[in-house]
């Protein structure tokens, strides 16, 4: 959009100058989105997290678990197993003390990504990519825990229904191997759980 021409006089000569201004492109309104957020807020008193916020929450839990796993491994190795990493203290006190809460961070999301990349060569040094990697790690971790829980519940149901392990031939099913793997997975799950239950504290 052009403004009216302005005339200036220099050494007796008149020059015409036209200034062109542009308006910023307005973001298109989304009536459905507005109605949805308004309904949730008025009905339940909850403000739905926006895209950037959900990414930050997922990255938060991804970083907490991934750093915790690194600390657990290195502490165990360097102490020859004499020291045990305290997951409960890490999840409830140490990590929130440094980074804040999922929806009330003490640092920027970019800083979270940079911290991750500083200690983990698999995390990109590009903050945007690093955040996406942390969020994806959290997603896969949740899926693994849900699968482990489903297996555990399925085994429990089978036992309660009179499951007889002798029905399987030895070369098809190794009881000891399954018990060991399932036990290790469940123990690991209990130590650094970071799923939906964490939101209940907010």
Element (H, E) at 16: strand 13-17
DSSP string covering 56-67:
HHHHHHHHHHHH
For the record, the structure tokens of 169 come out as 């031939």
Dump pLDDT digits (tens) for 99-146.
999 999 999 999 999 999 999 999 999 999 999 999 999 999 999 999
DSSP code for 45: S
pLDDT at 86: 97
Looking at the predicted structure, is the pLDDT value of residue 11 above 80?
Answer: no
Confidence class for position 155, pLDDT limits 50, 70, 90: confident
Q: What pLDDT is attached to residue 102?
A: 94
pLDDT-above-90 percentage for the chain: 53
What are the φ and ψ backbone dihedral angles of 7, each rounded to 5 degrees?
-110, 135
Rounded to an integer, what distance in angstroms lies between the CA atom of residue 167 and that of residue 174?
Answer: 12
């Amino acid at each position: 959009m052009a403004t009216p021409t302005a005339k200036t006089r220099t050494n007796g000569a008149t020059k015409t100058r036209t200034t062109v201004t542009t308006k910023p492109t307005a973001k298109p309104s989304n009536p459905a989105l507005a109605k949805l957020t308004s309904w949730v807020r008025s009905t339940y008193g909850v403000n739905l997290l926006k895209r950037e916020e959900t990414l930050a929450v997922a990255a938060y839990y991804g970083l907490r678990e991934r750093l915790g796993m690194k600390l657990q491994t290195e502490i165990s190795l360097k102490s020859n197993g004499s020291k045990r990493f305290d997951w409960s203290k890490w999840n409830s006190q140490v990590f929130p003390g440094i980074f804040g809460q999922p929806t009330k961070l003490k640092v920027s999301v970019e800083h979270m990504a940079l911290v991750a990349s500083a200690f983990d060569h698999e995390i990109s040094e590009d903050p945007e990519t690093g955040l996406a990697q942390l969020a994806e790690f959290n997603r896969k971790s949740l899926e693994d825990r849900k699968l482990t829980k489903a297996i555990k519940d399925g085994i429990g149901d089978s036992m309660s229904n009179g499951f007889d392990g002798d029905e399987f031939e030895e070369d098809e099913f190794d009881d000891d191997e399954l018990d060991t793997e399932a036990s290790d997975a469940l123990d690991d799950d209990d130590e650094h759980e970071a799923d939906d239950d964490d939101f209940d504290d907010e």
